[in-house]
Chains A and B, each alone.
Chain A
C-alpha cells in the first residue's frame, strides 16, 4: 500500500481529535481527543520512517508515546483534584481564571 494512504488516515485522525477537543466539554473526553491527535502524528511518523527506510521515525514515535503517557497522568491528576474539591467537571464552567 502506498505511503500517501497512511498519511491521509493520519490527517483524518488528527482532525477528528482536533474537532473533539473543540466540541466536547468533559475534560476526560478532551484528554482522549488529545490522545487521538498524538496518535495521528505517530502514524505519520511511522509512515515517514517506512518511506525513508530509517528507524529514527519509530524512535520518535516511541518518545511521543512516553510524552503522551506523562500528559495523561498529569491531566488525570488534575481531574481527580477538581473532583475532590467538588468543582464541576466541565471546562465551560471552570472559568475562574478567565479575566
Chain B
C-alpha cells in the first residue's frame, strides 16, 4: 500500500466522521466544530489530488473565516439542545432511507461508469498543476467573467446580510430607545441635567415612576409569542 493510499484512507475516514458528526450531534456548537474537522480533512484530500491552492483556500477561507461567522451566530442565538428523536414525524424515518438509497445509486453510477479515467490514477502530473500561479492565470484570462461575477455576488451578499440583520423600527419592541429618549428620569435622582443646572424640579408635577418598575412591565407582557421558551444560556 502506497503512502498516498494510506493518507487517502485516513483523510476519507476523518471527513466522513466529521460529516456524520455534523448531522448527529445535538448541540449546534459541536456541529460547527465537527464541520471544521471535516473541512480540514477534506483539505488533505484536495492536497492528495494536487489541488494546492484549493486546499489552502479551503483551510483559510472556509475553516477559518466562514466557520468563525457560524460560531458568532451560534453564540448569539444561544443554540439550545434540540431533541434529535422527538416528534417522530415520518420524515425522520424516511429520510435516512432516502439518503442511503441516494448514496448507493451515486456509487453505482460513479463506479459503473464507462469513463476509463475513473479507475485510473489520474492524468500525468505536470509540474505546477494546481499552484496559485496557474489558477490565478486561469482566473484572469479564461475565466475572467466568472471571477468578476463572483466578486459582484459577494458584494450583493454582504449588502443583503446587512439589510436582513439590521434593526428595524416596528418589527421589534423598541425598549432601549424608549427608555433612553422618551422617559425622563425623575427629579433629584442625580441626572447630569441637574448637575449642570439646566433642569429644575417643578413642585406641581407628580413624581414620575422610577425606571426600574414601570417600563420593564411591557417588556415581558406585550412582546413576542408567549409560548416561546426562554433563553437558556450557554450554547
Contacts and interface: CB of A to CB of B under 8 A. Distances in A.
Chain A bound to chain B: yes
Interface of A: 1-9, 11-20, 22-26, 28-29, 31-33, 35-36, 39, 42-43, 46-47, 49-53, 55-56, 58-59, 61-63, 65-74, 76-81, 83-90, 92
B183 interface: no
Contact of A43 (B5, B42, B91): B42
Nearest to B5: A1
Given A15-B103, A74-B164, A86 B95 contact: no
Interface in B1-47: 2, 4-5, 8, 12, 15-16, 19-20, 22-23, 28, 31-32, 35, 38-39, 42, 45-46
Contacts of A16: 16, 19-20, 22-23, 99
A61 B61 CA distance: 13
Interface residues of B, number: 95
Nearest to A1: B8
B141 to A, nearest CB: 11
Given A19-B98, A29-B28, A63-B150, A9 B23 contact: no
- SS class of chain B's interface: helix, strand, loop or mixed? helix
A73 B156 CA distance: 10
Contacts of A22: 91, 94-95, 98-99
Given A1-B8, A12-B103, A89 B51 contact: no
- SS class of chain A's interface: helix, strand, loop or mixed? helix
B74 interface: yes
B25 to A, nearest CB: 9
A54 to B, nearest CB: 8
Interface-centre pick from B19, B65, B73, B150 (highest chain A CB count, 10 A): B19
Contacts of B65: 69
Contacts of B66: 35, 68-69, 72
Contacts of A49: 49, 51, 130
B57 A72 contact: no
Given A5-B12, A13-B38, A28-B74, 17 more contacts: A1-B5, A15-B103, A16-B16, A17-B23, A29-B31, A35-B35, A35-B66, A39-B38, A43-B42, A53-B123, A69-B157, A72-B66, A74-B161, A77-B165, A80-B76, A84-B165, A86-B225
B73 A76 contact: yes
A3 B121 contact: yes
A91 B119 CA distance: 42
A69 B225 CA distance: 32
